[in-house]
């Protein structure tokens, strides 16, 4: 009898979560074909086209106009539908509470365990409800799979009520660099004369820290600080205020969905900068490494885990230390050497398929 496997990608919408799901499901599609496994992917209207372009297996789209309706459908009719499958994979931190317990729940959000639950932004009622939902999902699933060693440690520290905890390290970024890098002049940028942030504006990304350090760096007016990601107008105003008299050198490019364009920007940047206080398994340092872009990162365990051998680190929240590293990067003091993460997405998919088979036999 054919093994029937479900991959629930309905929650993947933007940023790292969508990049993770697309790369993982593409590799899983190939591995399941070789193993004779029948794979079905659940998608949402906001990611269905991208998923269909990435896989050849069956894709079912939830008729959901927004995330709220999507979640309601997942927890009701979706929960019942999961029992059609021998095992289920939920890569978005949550699973249907009353759904098929023969499931692998992938944890990729640091806000739901350990120090993440203690962050100021996670003390509101909405976030506490999400933390409770995650714990209920972990209790229900056969296997909880954190995506980094640090996140696995945080799971243990939080005493998450999981049946089994099994590490699932992410694969290295897979993309094609554009034949012709993006036209920097269209954005008033010069190669080696701009610092780059690639992140949506979540509180734990601390984008105002980057702007504050940029102002203290005292760089020439033609050196720019470039933000790529979904940043609302109100937050842009706060970032510009933090940049002070250097605000005129700050550029917002908004979200860029073409990975080749983002890679091109990394290729020409003086450095990629991240001031995040929380991460699970940050993908952007890997992408920077693949393009030989220097990386300046906050000194937190996830950054050390994925980039400890090549990045420059500064103490979390230390604007003066970050400013010093920014000056060095613009002066060309950081080496431009390509780095490769040893684990591929095919390696990740093979491990994930093994977990799914274990989940199917566990209950």
Within this chain, domains 4-171+344-362 and 184-330 share the same CATH topology: yes
Q: How far is CA 125 from CA 11, 94, 121, 312, in A?
A: 21, 17, 10, 37
Rounded Cα–Cα distance for residues 285 and 295 (Å): 7
- List strands edge to edge, sheet with 194-198: 250-254, 224-228, 194-198, 271-274, 295-298, 312-314
- The H or E element containing residue 90 is strand 87-90
Q: How many CB atoms lie within 10 A of CB 39?
A: 26
Q: Three-class SS of residue 246? A: helix
Whole-prediction pTM:
0.85
Over the stretch 158-202, which tens digit does the pLDDT of each residue have? 888 888 999 999 887 666 666 667 888 889 899 999 999 999 888
Here the tokens at position 112 are 């739901």
In CATH terms, 4-171+344-362 corresponds, of 3.40.50.1820, 3.40.50.2000, 1.10.579.10, 3.30.70.20, to 3.40.50.2000
Report which of 271, 264, 249, 246 is spatially closest to residue 327, judged by C-alpha positions: 271
Q: Are 249 and 225 in contact (CB under 8 A)?
A: yes
**Which residues of the chain fall below pLDDT 50?**
none
Query: What CATH number should be reported for the domain whose range is 184-330?
Result: 3.40.50.2000
The structural domains of the chain, with segments of one domain joined by +, span 4-171+344-362, 184-330
Which pLDDT does position 177 carry in this prediction? 64
Which pLDDT does position 178 carry in this prediction? 62
Pairing of strands 87-90, 38-43: unpaired
Which pLDDT does position 163 carry in this prediction? 87
- The H or E element containing residue 271 is strand 271-274
Which pLDDT does position 290 carry in this prediction? 85
């Amino acid at each position: 009898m054919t093994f029937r496997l479900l991959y629930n990608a309905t929650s993947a919408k933007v940023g790292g979560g969508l990049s993770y799901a697309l790369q993982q499901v593409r590799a899983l599609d190939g591995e399941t074909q070789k193993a004779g496994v029948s794979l079905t992917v659940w998608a949402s209207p906001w990611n269905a086209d991208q998923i269909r372009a990435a896989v050849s297996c069956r894709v079912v789209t939830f008729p959901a106009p927004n995330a709220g309706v999507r979640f309601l459908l997942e927890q009701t009719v979706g929960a019942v539908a999961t029992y059609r499958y021998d095992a289920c994979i939920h890569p978005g931190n949550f699973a249907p509470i009353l759904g098929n317990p023969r499931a692998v729940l992938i944890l990729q959000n640091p806000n739901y365990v350990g120090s993440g639950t203690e962050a100021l932004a996670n003390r509101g009622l909405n976030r506490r409800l999400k933390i409770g939902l995650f714990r209920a999902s972990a209790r229900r699933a056969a296997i909880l799979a954190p995506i980094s060693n640090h996140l696995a440690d945080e799971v243990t520290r939080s005493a998450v009520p999981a049946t089994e905890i099994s590490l699932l390290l992410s694969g290295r970024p897979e993309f094609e660099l554009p034949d012709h890098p993006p036209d920097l002049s269209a954005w008033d940028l010069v190669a080696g004369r701009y610092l780059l942030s690639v992140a949506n504006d979540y509180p734990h990304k601390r984008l105002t820290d980057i702007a504050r350090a940029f102002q203290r760096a005292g760089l020439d007016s033609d050196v720019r600080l470039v933000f790529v990601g979904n940043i609302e107008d109100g937050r842009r105003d706060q970032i510009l205020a933090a940049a002070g008299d250097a605000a005129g050198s700050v550029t917002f490019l908004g979200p860029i969905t073409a990975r080749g364009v983002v890679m091109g920007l990394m290729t020409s940047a003086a450095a990629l900068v991240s001031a995040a206080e929380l991460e699970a398994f940050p993908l952007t340092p890997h992408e920077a490494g693949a393009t030989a872009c220097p990386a300046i990162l906050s000194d937190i365990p996830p950054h050390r885990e994925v980039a400890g051998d090549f990045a420059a680190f500064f103490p979390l929240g230390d604007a003066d230390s970050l400013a010093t590293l920014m000056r060095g990067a613009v002066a060309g003091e950081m080496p431009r050497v390509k780095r490769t993460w040893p684990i591929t997405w095919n390696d990740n998919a093979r491990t994930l398929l093994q977990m799914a088979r274990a989940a199917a036999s566990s209950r």
